[in-house]
Amino acid sequence: LSREVVLAAAAAQAQECGLDSVSSRTLAARLGVTPMALYRHVRDMDEIVAALVDDLLVTVGLPDPALDWRDWLERAAWSLRDLFAEYPEALGLFSRQPVTTGAARARVEAAVGVLGQSGFTGGDAIRAYAVVHTYTIGFCSLEAGRRRAPAPSESNKAPEDLGRSIRDFVTEEQFRFGLCALVAGLEPETANH
Amino acid sequence: LSREVVLAAAAAQAQECGLDSVSSRTLAARLGVTPMALYRHVRDMDEIVAALVDDLLVTVGLPDPALDWRDWLERAAWSLRDLFAEYPEALGLFSRQPVTTGAARARVEAAVGVLGQSGFTGGDAIRAYAVVHTYTIGFCSLEAGRRRAPAPSESNKAPEDLGRSIRDFVTEEQFRFGLCALVAGLEPETANH
DNA sequence: ACCTGAACACCGTTCAAGT
DNA sequence: ACCTGAACACCGTTCAAGT
């Protein structure tokens, strides 16, 4: 039993039964040990989930650095959305702790490189990437809620039209719309206000 | 025991010990009944949380409809952030289910009214509001993670600078920056692409 | 050093039974 | 009709004990 074995078991578990099924008890059962045996090799469950999400960030990859900075940001956002579309439960990690693992930092570094070539300072590039990242996290959170519960908890009859609109506006087209508006509002000059 | 009494107990519990402390068991204990007694008056726990969040949305209110549409959107975002700054646990609700309660619909209706006066169609106004709403949800999620865990789970030494940057960029100033970029990218004409 | 056993302090919810 | 009791199927984690 080692950290590597625990993480491998966690990855297998996530792929088979979803990220939410990764718990101290399922992992222990899978490895044939007590839940407590894990705590000698990892600090807590969120450390395991963070390592898993980091691997997923690596696999979704990053856009071609030769792209125009606006295109690059948009494609980076779509790749992030791909991850959360497959593992919506990963979103919870970002609300529980800052995610500053290797692949997360690599994304920001890549943004600094690409935007730097278009006149963004390092800080401005991080700010710009952060906005896109933030928007994507928000969209995927709302999208996750809609996937899990297509019908609203409160069943309103008459003003169903607006309620329906609110639900139906979390679409791929709306993600694209918001992303374009966002990137349109960013400028190398705007950034250093 | 009635729905109203249950919701009142939930509101009191949330105010005293936080929204996360609102559970079937704490509420039951507070009301002197079994957890199961609640289920005769509400469908599940998320219905209670949704009702609580709806009340909070009412209390944070909405900006002056006479404002310029860009100012109105920005202020609406700030009011939403106020709510999540006080009750970050409310964010989970939006990832679990669509929130289309009364106050949520009222926000969208108000946006339709204000943006409608500046040439937005109903659909375009909803789209525009949704983008701002989405960004705010994302920002507050990231902010909540930073409040709960100031230090990263993985303790990297050398590239601490970038990790630190990532954490430090979730600030009020960054929220303002992203919000301005977003609203700058929205146009009545842009909306109907 | 590494793992176990038992426990602590919790969750939401179902289902049959009581009054 | 409304509530109870007991149970099911879970969580993460601490702490003392074992080998």
* pLDDT 10s digits, A5-25: 999 999 999 999 999 999 999
Look up residue B108 and give its amino acid.
Answer: V
CB B140 within 8 Å of CB B91: yes
Is residue A27 helix, strand or coil?
helix
pLDDT of B73 over the 50 cut: yes
Over residues A141-169, mean pLDDT: 75
pLDDT band at A189 (very low <50, low <70, confident <90, very high): low
A20 touches chain B (CB under 8 A): no
Q: What is the mean pLDDT of chain B?
A: 92
Tokens encoding B5: 């009494």
Shortest CA distance to A85 belongs to which of A23, A27, A148, A132? A148
pLDDT of residue B169: 87
- The model carries a pTM of 0.94
pLDDT band at A145 (very low <50, low <70, confident <90, very high): very high
pLDDT of residue B153: 41
The CA distance from B76 to B53, in Å, is 16
Shortest CA distance to A91 belongs to which of A31, A44, A160, A137? A137
Residue B92: CB atoms within 10 Å: 20
Among residues of chain A, what percentage have pLDDT more than 70?
A: 92
Best of B81, B129, B133, B141 to disrupt the A interface (most A CBs within 10 Å) is: B141
pLDDT of B107 over the 80 cut: yes
Tokens encoding B159: 């590239």
pLDDT band at B160 (very low <50, low <70, confident <90, very high): low
* pLDDT 10s digits, A89-123: 999 999 999 999 999 999 999 999 999 999 999 99
CB contact under 8 A, A183 and B185: yes
The CA distance from B78 to A69, in Å, is 29
The CA distance from B182 to B131, in Å, is 8
* CA atoms lying within 13 Å on the CB side of residue A88: 17
Which positions on chain D have an atom < 7 Å from some protein CB? 2-7, 10-16
pLDDT of residue B191: 46
> Between these two residues, A170 and B149, which has the higher pLDDT value?
A170
pLDDT band at B20 (very low <50, low <70, confident <90, very high): very high
CB A132 within 8 Å of CB A107: no
Helices A160-168 and B122-148, axial angle in degrees (round to 10): 60
The nucleotide lying nearest A25 (C-alpha to C1') is D11
* CA atoms lying within 13 Å on the CB side of residue A115: 27
* pLDDT 10s digits, A45-54: 999 999 999 9
Residue whose structure tokens are 């490189």: A113
Asked whether strand D has any atom less than 7 Å from the CB of A44, the reply is yes
pLDDT of B106 over the 80 cut: yes
Q: Which residue is nearest to nucleotide C3 (CA to C1')?
A: A37
With beta carbons under 8 A apart, name residues in chain A contacting B134. Answer: 135, 138-139, 142, 178
CB B183 within 8 Å of CB A185: yes
Tokens encoding A149: 């519960």
Residue whose structure tokens are 């949330």: B14
CA angle centred on A94, ends A93 and A98, rounded to 5°: 110
CB A107 within 8 Å of CB B146: no
B76 touches chain A (CB under 8 A): no
Shortest CA distance to A184 belongs to which of B128, B124, B79? B128
